[in-house]
């Protein structure tokens, strides 16, 4: 969750219902400037939650789109906890929830299909598709060392020149071709977060230096 | 709750002498700022007199004791605070009583906010005040939600008191107490935490506003959690950080410490920060195991045990969703968890939704619907709505991940397996399997606090018990390559704990045998007596 340290909507200001319109204007200016202020958006949703009759579904949708762009952070999921069930079923909120579920469940082609039916509202937030593609790429490239080029294009909804441009833009990616003619994109080596060699060695215990320090402290 | 019909005592014949004496001495000790005596009367004598004279009924209304205390207005407010707390614990409060108690809290807080309190009060009592304030708010929301049982007259009164116990008023009071007390600035200055920890707020003038400000941070955490605002809840904690435990004051007050970790742990769980959730619960479960023996005779004992059980249930959920979080748990917590929840954890790992739901329902806070119910359509019961909303969001996540445990089990049998073969073993088509693999990978990371920033800060860290990636071989076949993660055993801590335990045993064996205690009075260790 980024850019939130400077929010002017924390503490007492976050509970002031007179600031509702200010918070809604803040959403529009976040769209214009490309900034993101989770604390302010949370304050807005808090007011909607306390007084659902005041909920502006358009502002709500914009905030949800901005939150979706924060994936893999779970800002969207947090906001969802504040939306009364009745409003979750209204459009375009319901559609946005479905989109997030597709993204989180890594059903990228299903996501693009569903996204097509609400492209007007999605496109109204600059940078939306870039952010979503960046998330999809992150998910794929941290799981797959090599990935079919065709499938990559389908997952990112990029084809032909656009896909070539993306691949050219990543100097650390390479391309190759399998014997059956399948075109493959190779991502930078996936770092394993921990390797096999760590842990207990058979027949004895390994205590590293930091832990030895702890032991010495205890003994004295 | 099944309360008996309240029996109201007629006090016109006079208040029992012992109660009169209690009030007179209590008043005197407060005037003399005798903290240990005030605390003992508050904690022990009040409970004893309640048990003896006012079981199933209320203490005398304030008019009956006002004469005994020179009609001291602040004392009368404090007396009423205890009067209502006892009332809430004993009988079902009426609408009028709820409103009166609200007015009483407003009066107390307004005096604190105008800085005109110069008394010293035990910190344990000040915590109880904030805690009870939030509890009564929660109780009001539950009460107001049940419109179908209200009479026309009650509905009319509810119409007229929309500000009473409203969530915005409650949040604003707590925040105002935080702001006015200056506690955030005080604890942010270098050495501020340490000074506060050592002096416990008793050093300069009145401790009241400072301490109430401090406790209000935990109060805010709780109120935000009750409406599902988990990020806001952790944000509200500001300088009280569950993972910065050096000079953290809360462990000195059991109720406050348990509330801090129960609510923050719950927030971390629902924010999918499983490592942080496990860490919070591990910390407080150890704490409870250590201190619960000193609270056996306290009114809070039942509460402490209940929270203990609830947090084990939440820890079971954390481990079912993120087995790697086990690395945050100490051996003893893990052992107790296995004793209590082994079977249920297995079920959750197998993806049984109803077990998740069962544990969630048992261990979650009593959520509230912050929006007032529609008073003109008084047939609804809104209490369940809030719970259903939180449960729905939570179960949505659980269902998304239901195939992962079996996928993981299969992967662990192989070092390399082709995607088509794995798909047929899993009975999934290849595209779905590819999604599941990516899902397994992405859920293997969670935001985790890394030593910097407030309780909401953190970076994305690996939290997985399986390492794998997919690849494509020369023939164009997709493969999954697996490297099992062996948990890094923290032998150092294990050995350190056993060395310490061993030294303790040797010390105990060498100690002279103490003379038998007189009339059953057990000398309490320091930790039990501190905290007033």
Q: Tell me, what's the pLDDT at B438?
A: 92
Of B467, B415, B394, B474, whose CA–CA distance to B437 is shortest? Answer: B467
User: How far is Cα B48 from Cα B90, in angstroms, rounded to an integer?
Assistant: 14
How many residues are there in chain B? 532
State how far residue B464 is from chain A, nearest Cα, in angstroms: 9
Q: Is A74 within 8 Å of B447 when comparing Cβ atoms?
A: yes
Of B398, B109, B412, whose CA–CA distance to A105 is shortest? Answer: B398
Pairwise pLDDT comparison (B25 vs B5), residue with the higher score:
B25
Q: Tell me, what's the pLDDT at B379?
A: 57
B401-425 mean pLDDT: 87
The answer, yes or no, to whether residue B458 has pLDDT greater than 50, is: yes
Of the pLDDT bands very low, low, confident and very high (cuts 50, 70, 90), residue B529 is: very low
Q: Is A179 within 8 Å of B474 when comparing Cβ atoms?
A: yes
User: How far is Cα B19 from Cα A200, in angstroms, rounded to an integer?
Assistant: 65
How many residues are there in chain A? 220
Note the pLDDT tens digit of each residue in B32-78: 888 888 888 888 888 888 888 888 888 888 888 888 888 888 888 99
The answer, yes or no, to whether residue B416 has pLDDT greater than 90, is: no
Range in A66-75, B154-163, B304-313, B485-494 with the lowest mean pLDDT:
B485-494
Q: Is A144 helix (H, G, I), strand (E, B) or coil?
A: strand
Of B278, B364, B362, whose CA–CA distance to B323 is shortest? Answer: B278
> Nearest residue on chain A to B388, judged by CA atoms?
A85
The answer, yes or no, to whether residue B417 has pLDDT greater than 80, is: yes
Note the pLDDT tens digit of each residue in A16-27: 888 888 888 889
State how far residue B90 is from chain A, nearest Cα, in angstroms: 31
The answer, yes or no, to whether residue B485 has pLDDT greater than 60, is: yes
Q: Tell me, what's the pLDDT at B1?
A: 41
What end-to-end distance do the CA atoms of chain B give, in Å? 30
B188-209 mean pLDDT: 85
> Nearest residue on chain A to B267, judged by CA atoms?
A78
The answer, yes or no, to whether residue B524 has pLDDT greater than 60, is: no
Closest partner residue to B447 (CB to CB) among A73, A82, A179 is A73
Question: What is the predicted ipTM?
Answer: 0.83
Q: Is A180 within 8 Å of B476 when comparing Cβ atoms?
A: yes
State how far residue A197 is from chain B, nearest Cα, in angstroms: 8
Closest partner residue to B492 (CB to CB) among A184, A190, A215 is A215
State how far residue A127 is from chain B, nearest Cα, in angstroms: 23
Note the pLDDT tens digit of each residue in A72-107: 889 999 999 999 888 888 889 999 999 999 999 999
Q: Is B231 within 8 Å of A42 when comparing Cβ atoms?
A: yes
Of the pLDDT bands very low, low, confident and very high (cuts 50, 70, 90), residue B306 is: very high
Pairwise pLDDT comparison (B386 vs B490), residue with the higher score:
B386
Half-sphere exposure of B147 (CA within 13 A, CB side): 18
Q: Give the best-scoring range by mean pLDDT among B355-364, B420-429, B446-455.
A: B355-364
Q: Tell me, what's the pLDDT at A79?
A: 93
Residues of B in contact with A217 (CB under 8 A): 496
Of A88, A37, A36, A32, whose CA–CA distance to A60 is shortest? Answer: A88
Percentage of residues of chain B with pLDDT beyond 70: 91
B136-165 mean pLDDT: 81
Q: Tell me, what's the pLDDT at B488?
A: 61
The conformational region for residue B434 under phi > 0 = left, psi -120 to 50 = alpha, else beta, is alpha
Q: Is A184 within 8 Å of B434 when comparing Cβ atoms?
A: no
Closest partner residue to A205 (CB to CB) among B437, B475, B491 is B491
The enclosing H or E element of B483 equals strand B478-484
Burial code (b: 16+ CB inside 10 Å, e: under 16) for B429-465 equals eeebbbbbbbbbbbbbbbbbbeeeebbbbbeebbbbb
Q: Is B488 within 8 Å of A178 when comparing Cβ atoms?
A: no
Six-digit token string for B362: 């048992």
Of the pLDDT bands very low, low, confident and very high (cuts 50, 70, 90), residue A219 is: low
Closest partner residue to B496 (CB to CB) among A42, A101, A215 is A215
Q: Tell me, what's the pLDDT at B90?
A: 87
Pairwise pLDDT comparison (A191 vs A201), residue with the higher score:
A191
Average pLDDT over chain B reads 85
What end-to-end distance do the CA atoms of chain A give, in Å? 43
The answer, yes or no, to whether residue B8 has pLDDT greater than 60, is: no
Say what the pTM is: 0.86
Burial code (b: 16+ CB inside 10 Å, e: under 16) for B38-63 equals bbbbbbebbeebbeebbeebbbbebe
* Burial of A99 per CB tally in 10 Å (0-12, 13-18, 19+): buried
Percentage of residues of chain A with pLDDT beyond 70: 83
Quick check: B455 and B449 in contact, CB under 8 A? yes
Q: Give the best-scoring range by mean pLDDT among A178-187, B391-400, B470-479, B509-518.
A: B391-400
Pairwise pLDDT comparison (B289 vs B297), residue with the higher score:
B289
Closest partner residue to A192 (CB to CB) among B439, B467, B488 is B467
Of B416, B479, B428, B414, whose CA–CA distance to A144 is shortest? Answer: B479
Q: Tell me, what's the pLDDT at B4?
A: 45
Note the pLDDT tens digit of each residue in B323-380: 888 888 888 899 899 999 999 988 888 888 889 999 999 999 999 888 877 766 655 6
Q: Is B488 within 8 Å of A219 when comparing Cβ atoms?
A: no
Q: Is B467 helix (H, G, I), strand (E, B) or coil?
A: strand
Q: Is B488 within 8 Å of A181 when comparing Cβ atoms?
A: no
The enclosing H or E element of A165 equals helix A160-169
Q: Tell me, what's the pLDDT at B520?
A: 43
Percentage of residues of chain A with pLDDT beyond 90: 28
Q: Tell me, what's the pLDDT at B156?
A: 79
Half-sphere exposure of A33 (CA within 13 A, CB side): 10
Closest partner residue to B441 (CB to CB) among A75, A142, A182 is A142
The sheet carrying B478-484 orders its strands as B416-418, B478-484, B466-472
Q: Is B484 within 8 Å of A196 when comparing Cβ atoms?
A: yes
State how far residue B477 is from chain A, nearest Cα, in angstroms: 9
């Amino acid at each position: 969750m980024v850019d939130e340290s400077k929010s002017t909507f924390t503490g007492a200001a976050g509970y002031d219902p007179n600031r509702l319109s200010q918070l809604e204007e803040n959403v529009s200016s976040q769209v214009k400037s490309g900034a993101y202020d989770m604390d302010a958006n949370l304050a807005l949703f808090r007011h909607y939650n306390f007084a659902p009759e005041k909920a502006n579904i358009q502002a709500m949708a914009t905030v949800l789109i901005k939150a979706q762009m924060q994936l893999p952070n779970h800002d969207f999921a947090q906001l969802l906890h504040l939306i009364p069930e009745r409003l979750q079923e209204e459009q375009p909120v319901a559609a946005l929830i479905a989109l997030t579920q597709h993204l989180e469940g890594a059903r990228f082609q299903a996501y693009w299909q569903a996204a097509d039916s609400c492209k007007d509202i999605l496109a109204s937030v600059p940078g939306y598709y870039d952010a979503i593609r960046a998330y999809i790429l992150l998910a794929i490239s941290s799981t797959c060392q090599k990935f079919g080029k065709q499938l990559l294009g389908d997952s990112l909804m990029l084809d032909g020149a656009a896909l070539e441009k993306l691949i050219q833009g990543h100097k650390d990616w390479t391309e190759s071709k399998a014997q059956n003619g399948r075109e493959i994109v190779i991502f930078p080596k996936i770092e394993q977060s921990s390797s096999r060699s760590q842990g207990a060695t058979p027949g004895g215990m390994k205590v590293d230096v930091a832990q030895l320090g702890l032991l010495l402290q205890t003994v004295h | 709750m099944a309360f008996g019909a309240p029996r109201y005592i007629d006090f016109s014949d006079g208040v029992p002498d012992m109660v009169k004496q209690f009030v007179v001495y209590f008043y005197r000790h407060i005037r003399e700022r005798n903290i240990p005596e005030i605390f003992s009367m508050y904690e022990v004598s009040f409970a004893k007199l309640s048990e003896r004279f006012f079981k199933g009924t209320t203490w005398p209304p304030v008019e009956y004791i006002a004469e005994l205390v020179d009609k001291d207005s602040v004392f009368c407010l404090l007396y009423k605070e205890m009067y209502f707390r006892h009332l809430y614990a004993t009988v079902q409060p009426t609408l009028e009583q709820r409103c009166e108690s609200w007015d009483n809290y407003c009066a107390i807080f307004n005096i604190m906010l105008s800085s005109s309190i110069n008394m010293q009060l035990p910190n344990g009592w000040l915590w109880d005040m904030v805690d009870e304030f939030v509890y009564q708010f929660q109780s009001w929301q539950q009460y107001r939600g049940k419109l179908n049982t209200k009479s026309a007259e009650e509905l009319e009164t509810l119409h007229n008191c929309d500000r009473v116990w409203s969530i915005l008023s409650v949040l604003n009071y707590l925040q105002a107490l935080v702001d006015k007390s200056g506690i955030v600035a005080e604890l942010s200055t270098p050495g501020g935490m340490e000074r506060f920890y050592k002096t416990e707020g008793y050093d300069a003038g009145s401790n009241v506003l400072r301490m109430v400000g401090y406790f209000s941070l935990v109060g805010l955490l709780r109120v935000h959690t009750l409406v599902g605002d988990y990020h806001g809840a952790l944000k509200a904690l500001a300088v009280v950080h569950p993972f910065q435990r050096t000079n953290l004051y809360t462990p000195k007050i059991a109720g406050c410490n348990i509330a801090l970790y129960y609510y923050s742990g719950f927030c971390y769980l629902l924010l999918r920060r499983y490592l942080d959730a496990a860490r919070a619960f591990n910390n407080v479960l150890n704490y409870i195991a250590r201190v619960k023996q000193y609270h056996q005779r306290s009114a809070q004992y039942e509460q402490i045990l209940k929270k203990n059980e609830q947090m084990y249930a939440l820890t079971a959920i954390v481990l079912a969703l993120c087995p790697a979080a086990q690395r945050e748990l100490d051996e003893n917590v893990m052992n107790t968890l296995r004793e209590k929840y082994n079977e249920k954890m297995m079920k959750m790992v197998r993806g049984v939704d109803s077990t998740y739901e069962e544990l969630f329902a048992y261990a979650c806070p009593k959520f509230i619907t912050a929006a007032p119910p529609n008073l003109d359509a008084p047939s609804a019961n809104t209490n369940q709505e809030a719970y259903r909303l939180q449960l729905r969001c939570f179960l949505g996540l659980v269902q998304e991940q239901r195939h992962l445990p079996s996928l993981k089990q299969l992967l662990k049998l192989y070092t390399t397996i082709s995607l088509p073969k794995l798909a047929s073993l899993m009975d999934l088509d290849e595209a779905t399997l590819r999604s599941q693999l990516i899902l397994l990978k992405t859920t293997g990371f969670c935001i985790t606090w890394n030593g910097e920033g407030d309780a909401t800060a953190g970076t994305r860290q690996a939290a997985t018990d399986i390492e794998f990636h997919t690849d494509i071989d020369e023939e164009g076949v997709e493969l999954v390559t697996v490297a099992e993660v062996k948990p890094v055993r923290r032998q150092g801590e294990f050995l350190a704990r056993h060395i310490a335990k061993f030294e303790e045993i040797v010390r105990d064996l060498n100690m002279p045998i103490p003379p038998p205690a007189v009339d059953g009075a057990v000398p309490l260790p320091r930790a039990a007596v501190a905290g007033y």
